[in-house]
Amino acid sequence: MSQPYRKRSPETWTAARDAWLGGLTAEEVCVRFDLGESAFHKRARAEGWRRVDQADPEPEDLPTDDDLPDIDDEALAALAFRRMSVEARRGRLNRALAWGRLRDMALRQVSDRARLEARVARAASRASIDTLNEINATARSIVQSARLVGAVADTGTHSPSSSKVQEVQEVHPVPPLSRAERRRQAARARKTGPP
């Protein structure tokens, strides 16, 4: 929402010019003297207010950024949203849009991190399923070997091709794979190729 039209006295404009040439920012001058920023900049251009003509200010010792607290992306998005709302209520749409872009960037970072964590979790789950399948295959081969050894021991011969092979009851039967798991194994086999 734009602010209503205001007409300021020449004394106000002179004081604003002196404050701006004294080193205040345009935003600070406009807040102090209740001026619109676009009107301030238009008058400064028209009347030739130039800080270049002034003497250089003394250099300031700027604080280092090492003591700033770390902020996570969710908190940054919330801060940017609050600042965007404030700037929009004050009628500074360009600044509100800049805060909105910062908020969008922080939210993209949050969603990218969530997608990456989900991808890592899926990969870990697949790895554990593959490990479980390998363990099941090893258990089946051990059971098969135990059947052969048991059959050979019962017949008293050392040949696995003995005609008298007895079936051994499985202590812990391995459940059959589900349809979804069979499809996953087939897809993995297609990707890796034959053994």
Chain segment 96-141, per-residue pLDDT in tens = 999 999 999 999 999 998 898 888 888 888 888 888 888 888 888 8
Model confidence at 166: pLDDT above 50: no
- Report how far Cα 66 is from the mean position of its chain's Cα atoms: 24
Is 175 or 3 the better-scoring residue by pLDDT? 175
What pLDDT was estimated at residue 170?
47
- Alpha-carbon span 61 to 99, nearest angstrom: 28
**What percentage of the chain exceeds 90 in pLDDT?**
16
Q: Helices in 34-92 by DSSP H: which ranges?
A: 37-47, 73-89
Angle at 21 between CA 19 and CA 25, to 5 degrees: 70
Model confidence at 28: pLDDT above 60: yes
Average model confidence (pLDDT) for the chain?
79
53-61: list long-range contacts, CB under 8 Å, 24+ apart: 54/21, 57/23
Task: Say which range, 30-44, 108-122, 126-140, 158-172, has the weakest mean pLDDT.
Answer: 158-172
Using N-to-C axis directions, what is the helix angle for 26-33 and 37-47, rounded to 10°? 110
Q: Is the pTM value of this prediction over 0.75? A: no
What pLDDT was estimated at residue 104?
93
Instruction: Judge whether 80 and 100 are in contact, CB under 8 Å.
Output: yes
Token output for 93 = 């749409």
